[in-house]
A and B are shown apart, each in its own frame.
Chain A
């Protein structure tokens, strides 16, 4: 059974710092991996989606990498800002399209000004 783990559970950094969020999954047979942002009491905002054949995806200050063989992904946030404060969720989709996502518990990030 696929399990997704995110470390750390919470992270506090001063504004301007670069940071890395970690995600690991137990079954490397995934279709894709996705990073989401969730603000308190709100829904999900998709940040980056990495197909199983890809190694990384970039969007602005965000860079996500995927090492499928080792079951790991990282989300790198450059020059963090207070507006980046949120919970970041990692989710994998099983080895075929159209299946549900399996989520980690998330990393709650707090960026202080």
Chain B
């Protein structure tokens, strides 16, 4: 089956630093990738939709200058949390829709970000 990887799986950083999270589709090409955020004991909330070669579409309330998304190829999207603060500590999960098979979204294992 289709596999999506995320790197790193866990990151701890100091307040004010930037963190990059990678989302890769390992065995398929992804036309669209989605970034979700999950706070403790809360559900997943969509942050942005990323299409290869175009600018990401951000959900209301998500700062595009703080959460930079790049989808440079059909197998890689990156989320950079700039000038991270403790309130950005969360579980970030990406998903990918395969070219021609858009019914199913394949989820990555998630990245746990802790900002001290």
Binding site for B on A (CB under 8 A): 31-32, 36, 41-44, 46, 49, 51, 89, 91, 93, 97-106
Q: Give residues of chain B (39-56) contacting chain A, Cβ–Cβ below 8 Å.
A: 42-46, 49
Contact-residue size bin, chain B (C-beta under 8 Å from the other chain): 20 to 34
User: From DSSP, what is the main secondary structure of chain B's interface residues?
Assistant: strand
When the two chains form the complex, which single residue of A32, A91, A103, A106 contacts B103, counting CB atoms closer than 8 Å?
A: A32
- B95 — which chain A residues lie within 8 A by C-beta? 101
Instruction: Verify A89–B44 contact, CB threshold 8 A.
Output: yes
- In the complex formed, the residue of A with least CB distance to B95 is A101
Q: Pick the contact of A101 from B102, B105, B108, B109 — CB < 8 Å?
A: B105
Do A106 and B93 touch (CB < 8 A)? no
B residues sitting closer than 8 Å to A (CB atoms) are 31-32, 34, 36, 42-46, 49, 91, 93, 95, 97, 102-105, 107-110, 112
CB of A100 within 8 A of CB of B46, answer: yes
Q: Is the CB of A103 within 8 A of B43?
A: yes
Chain B residues whose CB sits within 8 angstroms of the CB of A93 once the complex forms: 105
Cα distance, A93 to B107, chains bound together (Å): 14
Q: Do B103 and A46 touch across chains, with their CB atoms under 8 A apart?
A: no
Set of chain B residues within 8 Å of A106, measured between Cβ atoms? 43
Instruction: In the A-B complex, list the 10 residue pairs whose CB atoms are closest, starting with the nearest.
Output: A97-B102, A43-B109, A98-B102, A105-B43, A43-B110, A103-B43, A44-B107, A103-B44, A100-B46, A100-B34
**A100 surroundings in chain B (CB, below 8 A):** 34, 36, 46, 49
A85 to B26, CA, bound (A): 29
- Bound CA span A99–B95, Å: 11
- Provided the pairs A100-B34, A103-B44, A104-B43 are in contact, do residues A41 and B112 lie with their beta carbons within 8 angstroms? yes
Q: Establish whether residues A98 and B32, one from each chain, have CB atoms under 8 Å apart when the complex forms.
A: yes
* Separation of A29 and B26 alpha carbons in the complex (Å): 32
Closest to B6 in A: A43
Residues of B near A43 (CB, < 8 A) are 93, 107-110
